[in-house]
Structure 1
Amino acid sequence: MKPHLLALAACMAASMASHAQPKEDWPTRAIRIVVAFPAGSPGDTAARIVADAVGQSLKQPLIIENRPGAGGNIGAEAVARSPADGYTFLEAPDTIVTINPAIYRKLNFKADDLTPVVALANFNQMLVCSASSGLRTLAQLDAQARKTPGALSYASGGQGVPGHLAMELYLSGAGLSILHVPYKGPSPATQDVLAGQVPCGYLASPVVAPYVAAGKLYGLAVSGAERSVQAPNVPTMQQAGVAGYDATFREMLFAPKGTPAGIVARMNEEVARALALPEVKRKLQANDLDPLPEPPDATARRLREDAAKWTGVIRKINLKVD
């Protein structure tokens, strides 16, 4: 097993060995949620929706602080170095611990510096193209890429983020070469695809689905096993002809290593309770986010499985990020 997978497994095991109880007076002040991606990203949207409900239940405000950059590593490092006192949490996709340790040559934190608390929501990436590209289907993209290898390009929200890996999973399996153009988050990438500066993008479905629904972008496929609620006419990658393809991602809440297990368990319970509220579910689903909280053991298992899957893709394409 790869070193970062061993670290992740150890992290999961430690988080599941939950016997300590939270201090009776927790929380007594505001809780900071560091979001590792920009405002408007799926994680930012999920964090703000859930924070309101959880804050009301805990009777303390949950303050959102965006710390984007380096595929989420800047925010992750900030939280990993924060006091493990239950007043700082990280909102980030699962890729922080399943992908980043395998692709970044130098990280200022380790996977086991972050304890998984709960999955907020599943989300997909969507392969979209501008009207000026002339591409309307995955089959057309495939044909164009084979006709002029290396001539096409696609945007993502950054090196090693979900959209980048989702596209590389497809390209490596199809034997295609399409130039990757990374941005600092899905929103600026979407704007350049809309403007035709980059013909296509593999971007967070919650960000691009409204433009597809409005006819401003063409959706070729979504990465997960289910179609987008906001763009139901866009097929999944499997439905578009890529057998066995599934790249579902999860927005997660993490805590610094050493956070009392009782506090982690309490936050897990409070978030799960909030996600079950009809209004919270409605808001998340309206943003193409699927709230599916899990108990800690199921979350740990999924993270280990995803880390193994993506490590295989990363090794196959020899992806490394400075």
Structure 2
Amino acid sequence: MKRRALMGTTLALGLAAPNLAPTASAQDFPTRPVRLLVTWPPGGTTDILARQFQPRLAAALGQPVIVENRGGASGAIGAAEMARMNPDGHGFGMVTSTVISAALLTRQPYDPIRDLTPIINLARVANILAVHPSLPVHSVQDLIALAKARPGALTFGSPGIGSAVHISGEMFKLAAGVDMVHAPYRGGGPALADLVSGHIQLMFGNASSTLPFVRDGSLRGIAVTSAERAAYLPNLPTVAESGLPGFAIDEWYAVLGPAGMAPRAVERVNAAFNAIIAEPAERARILEMGAEVVGGTAAEFSSFMLAEVEKIGRVIRDARIRME
């Protein structure tokens, strides 16, 4: 545990300190095709976003953009390869928030702060606190009351230990002071299937996959975990406004490059992505997927990652989360 705590501190210091690694000149960036590495297999949200942006990014940069999938180990295989890329800017990749939680839970072949350069946070996806319709709760306060009356009797599912869905559930337990059992699955699909069939009682499910079940009545949506209400479920309150002030966590999709990535390249790629997600058609497509646009500067994303390291690290420590 001490090693993990020290690791979290090291990650934070690594991000805050100036990067002294040598950088390649990027005055004429890009001068050849650009490689966009996706750290998840084809077909998932990260891959869909990358391929959705591909033609627009190529037009903005004036060079072909080649999308490559390097999935496996919850994104760790792709992240490690990304860290080894040439820092001249012709290679960068798309990741999810597990790039942080994985490093805080296990020894990875990369350090997400020291070995990677923040470029832009593209989009965020709130988790939906959803329950099986048979559970007699219709609000966060109902759930808290039931969980306190029946400690250890309620089970919440997740795609696996350390996922944003799992972290959301552990945050809720800590904030509400309740005892619920975590049931990790090998993926979100199996967890959702068991929730819909009633084998587990609740889940802080990723909105992209959980939303259809809430809309068709297979599940009952109670709240969203984001700081603000989700545009695609405006009538569903946040956990924070439902009695747990300050509660906020999202899964996010972002672009990172290797350490020492040329500043001019970072600026150019950041500007290109910001222009793409500012287009109404692109924003609408992202919203349809159950996600919301973030955008902003590389510096803003860097600060956000620092805050995420602190928040997620605190949950892992306080909830005593371990990889099995």
Is TM (by shorter chain) over 0.5?
yes
Match of 1:107 in 2: 108
**Aligned-pair distance for 1:134?**
4.4
2:304 is the counterpart of 1:312: no
CA distance in 1, matches of 2:150, 2:99: 34
Consecutive unaligned residues in structure 1, runs of 5 or more? none
Match of 1:90 in 2: 93
C-alpha distance after superposition, 1:181-240 (max 9, x if no partner): 223443443233223332221121122122212222111111112222222222100222
Match of 2:77 in 1: 74
Query: Once the two structures are aligned, what percentage of the paired residues are identical?
Result: 24
Match of 1:47 in 2: 50
Instruction: Evaluate the alpha carbon distance shift between residue 47 and residue 244 of structure 1 in structure 2; reply closer, same or farther with a 3 A threshold.
Output: same
Instruction: Evaluate the alpha carbon distance shift between residue 28 and residue 302 of structure 1 in structure 2; reply closer, same or farther with a 3 A threshold.
Output: same
**Aligned-pair distance for 1:91?**
1.7
Could you tell me which amino acid in structure 2 is paired with residue 54 of structure 1?
L
The match for 2:192 among 169, 190, 193 is 190
The match for 2:65 among 46, 61, 83 is 61
CA distance in 2, matches of 1:129, 1:65: 34
- 1:193 is paired with a residue whose SS is helix
Compute the RMSD of aligned alpha carbons: 2.8
Q: Is the 8 A contact 2:87 2:260 kept in 1?
A: yes
Count how many residue pairs are aligned between Structure 1 and Structure 2. Answer: 318
- 1:131 is paired with a residue whose SS is coil
Instruction: Evaluate the alpha carbon distance shift between residue 188 and residue 53 of structure 1 in structure 2; reply closer, same or farther with a 3 A threshold.
Output: farther
Match of 1:145 in 2: 147
Q: Which moved more, 1:119-128 or 1:29-38?
A: 29-38
Could you tell me which amino acid in structure 2 is paired with residue 252 of structure 1?
A
Match of 2:33 in 1: 29
CA distance in 2, matches of 1:231, 1:94: 22
CA distance in 1, matches of 2:286, 2:275: 14
CA distance in 2, matches of 1:160, 1:123: 16
**Aligned-pair distance for 1:253?**
0.7
TM-score in terms of structure 1 length: 0.86
C-alpha distance after superposition, 1:84-138 (max 9, x if no partner): 45444332223423x333222x222112111111110122111112234444332
Consecutive unaligned residues in structure 2, runs of 5 or more? none
C-alpha distance after superposition, 1:237-263 (max 9, x if no partner): 022221221224432111122433332
Aligned pairs for 1:3-14 (under 5 A) are 3-11=7-15, 13-14=17-18
Instruction: Evaluate the alpha carbon distance shift between residue 81 and residue 25 of structure 1 in structure 2; reply closer, same or farther with a 3 A threshold.
Output: closer
TM-score in terms of structure 2 length: 0.86
Match of 2:123 in 1: 121
